[in-house]
């Protein structure tokens, strides 16, 4: 069995690349064709992040099984900073509302509409239950997918089910549901997000960990 103190060669470098690509995707480029090229490729950083998350969640729970501890640590790791930026966004929205002349700027009007000043929208955004509606801090949309994965992972730990079997079945359900295009997928609800193909990227990460785990076991033989 491996321990959490073991280093993962190349993982930190991959995370750096993913962060760089995501940041690059959000930098406005004057040249439209170049901006489109960078954005489309930069978005791959999110995919890398999802795969790495699947791997890391398996890695850090090899010798642990406390569902509440896992879930609370994951939530507290991402929620406070996310809430901070949501509050900053709301302050900007409020200032713009008090100074409507700034709404003449199309970018301001799009990024900071007065509609974000809504208490229900606020709580949905900080608890990652906003569904397909972008969160108040729009660039943090991917955190909801992370949170769904953490929730499912916590369920695995809570009921002490084999995580590989659980996520294999879950992945097959996602594939079948999307292949037959079941009606509930079209309502764009929070529930339908559980069957979004992007969730398969986390599952890929769990399988990469399985390969890593088997490779380490063979090395010890």
Question: Looking at 96, 131, 154, which one is the last position of a domain?
Answer: 154
Instruction: Choose one of 130, 154, 178: the last residue of a domain.
Output: 154
My answer on whether 89 and 114 are in the same domain is yes
What is the DSSP code (8-state) at residue 137? S
| Residue indicated by tokens 């690059």 | 24
pLDDT of residue 4: 44
CB atoms within 10 A of CB 214: 10
Residues 79, 40 share a domain? no
Structure tokens belonging to residue 188: 């764009």
How many beta carbons lie within 10 A of that of residue 23, not counting itself? 12
pLDDT of residue 220: 52
- pLDDT recorded at residue 28: 56
pLDDT of residue 23: 66
Say whether both 117 and 182 belong to one domain.
no
Instruction: Note whether 29 and 53 are same-domain residues.
Output: yes
CA distance 188 to 97: 30
| Model pLDDT, residue 64 | 74
**Cα–Cα distance, 114 to 90 (Å, whole number):** 9
pLDDT value of position 70: 93
Binned average pLDDT, 10 residues per bin, the chain of 221 residues: 54 74 62 51 79 91 85 93 95 86 70 89 95 90 94 93 93 90 70 91 94 73 42
Kindly state whether residues 96 and 28 are assigned to the same domain: no
Is the distance from CB of 1 to CB of 62 less than 8 angstroms?
yes
What does the pLDDT read at residue 39?
53
Q: Is the sign of the CA dihedral 111, 88, 26, 146 positive or negative?
A: negative
148/78 same-domain check: yes
Same domain, 141 and 168: no
Give me the number of domains the chain comprises.
Answer: 2
Q: How crowded is residue 101: how many other Cβ atoms within 10 Å of its Cβ?
A: 7
Q: Are residues 91 and 54 in the same domain?
A: no
205 closest CA partner among 53, 6, 1: 53
Q: Give this prediction's pTM.
A: 0.84
Residues with Cβ within 8 Å of 25's Cβ and at least 6 positions away in sequence, in order, are 38, 39, 41, 42, 43, 45
Domain containing 36 equals 1-65+160-221
Residues 134 and 109 reside in one and the same domain: yes
pLDDT at 1: 47
> What confidence score (pLDDT) does residue 36 get?
54
Domain end: 103, 131, 154, which one?
Answer: 154
The Cα-based distances of 76 to 69, 130, 147, 150, 156 in angstroms read 11, 18, 11, 12, 20
Do 58 and 77 fall within a single domain?
Answer: no
**One domain, residues 59 and 109:** no
Same domain, 81 and 29: no
């Amino acid at each position: 069995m491996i321990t959490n103190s073991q280093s993962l060669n190349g993982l930190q470098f991959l995370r750096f690349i993913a962060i760089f690509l995501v940041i690059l995707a959000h930098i406005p480029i004057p040249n439209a064709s170049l901006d489109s090229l960078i954005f489309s490729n930069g978005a791959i950083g999110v995919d890398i992040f999802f795969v790495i998350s699947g791997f890391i969640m398996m890695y850090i729970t090899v010798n642990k099984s406390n569902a509440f501890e896992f879930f609370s640590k994951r939530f507290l790791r991402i929620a406070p900073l996310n809430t901070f930026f949501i509050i900053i966004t709301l302050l900007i929205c409020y200032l713009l509302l008090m100074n409507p002349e700034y709404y003449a700027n199309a970018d301001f009007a799009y990024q900071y509409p007065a509609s974000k000043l809504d208490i229900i929208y606020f709580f949905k955004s900080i608890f990652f239950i906003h569904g397909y509606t972008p969160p108040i801090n729009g660039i943090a949309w991917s955190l909801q997918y992370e949170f769904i994965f953490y929730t499912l992972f916590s369920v695995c730990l809570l009921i002490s089910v084999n995580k590989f079997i659980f996520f294999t079945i879950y992945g097959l359900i996602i594939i079948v549901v999307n292949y037959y295009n079941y009606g509930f997928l079209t309502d764009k609800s929070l529930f339908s997000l559980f069957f979004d193909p992007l969730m398969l990227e986390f599952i890929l990460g769990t399988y990469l960990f399985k390969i890593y785990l088997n490779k380490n076991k063979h090395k010890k033989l």
